[in-house]
Amino acid sequence: MTAFDLDAYHERARTGPCFICAMLSGTPGYEHRVVLDDGDHVAFLDRYPTLPGKVLVAPRAHIEDTIGGLTEERYLALQRTVHRVATALRETVPTERVYVLSLGSTRGNSHVHWHIAALPPGVPYERQQFHALMAEGAGVLPDDPERDEHLAAALRTRLDRGAERGA
């Protein structure tokens, strides 16, 4: 794990552009490895993962209210995408449990998004749950472009196969 500059992260989240909209528009410095783009939703590897293969899923449209900003139909479609991505992640990396949660704030990272993280087998209980997801504690995984591209490709392959099967 490597140290995480929480102050710089908070500054960027609160004063910079929406990181998801910036990624989708190709703004330099906001690149992410996209694993799924179905026209309505996008899934991509987290730039600051605390667990191997951490993925974020979001609607392409800039929506800030998880419930009030989505009709029931659109919310359920987004949750189907979350389920598809979580299933592909579980089938791609060693997983004891899959964590799924929505984070964000009207003050930063306001674009609705879900975090999907695969807890590897054997993590001691006291380092599971929120401890496994908090960059403030142990930090984030070291940047490894080759590892990330390999994982993104594996996830895209699984998601493509699932789409072909109608899953």
- Give tens-digit pLDDT for 117-133: 999 999 999 989 988 98
pLDDT value, residue 1? 86
**140 with 45: CB under 8 angstroms?**
no
User: DSSP E strands: which ranges in the chain?
Assistant: 34-37, 41-45, 55-59, 97-105, 108-119
- Give tens-digit pLDDT for 79-90: 999 999 999 999
Task: Please give the mean pLDDT across all residues of the chain.
Answer: 93
Q: What pTM, to 2 d.p., does this model score?
A: 0.93
In this predicted structure, the answer to whether residue 23 has a pLDDT above a threshold of 80 is yes
Q: Which residues contact 74 (CB under 8 A, 6 or more apart)?
A: 40, 59
Better-predicted residue by pLDDT, 67 or 164: 67
- Give tens-digit pLDDT for 75-116: 999 999 999 999 999 999 999 999 999 988 889 899 999 999
CA-CA distance, 7 to 9, in Å (whole number)? Answer: 5
pLDDT value, residue 102? 94
In this predicted structure, the answer to whether residue 165 has a pLDDT above a threshold of 70 is no
Q: Give the number of other CB atoms < 10 A from CB of residue 157.
A: 13
Q: How many CA atoms lie within 13 A of 102 on its CB side?
A: 16
Under CATH, domain 6-162 is a member of which superfamily?
A: HIT-like (3.30.428.10)
Return the DSSP state at 141: P
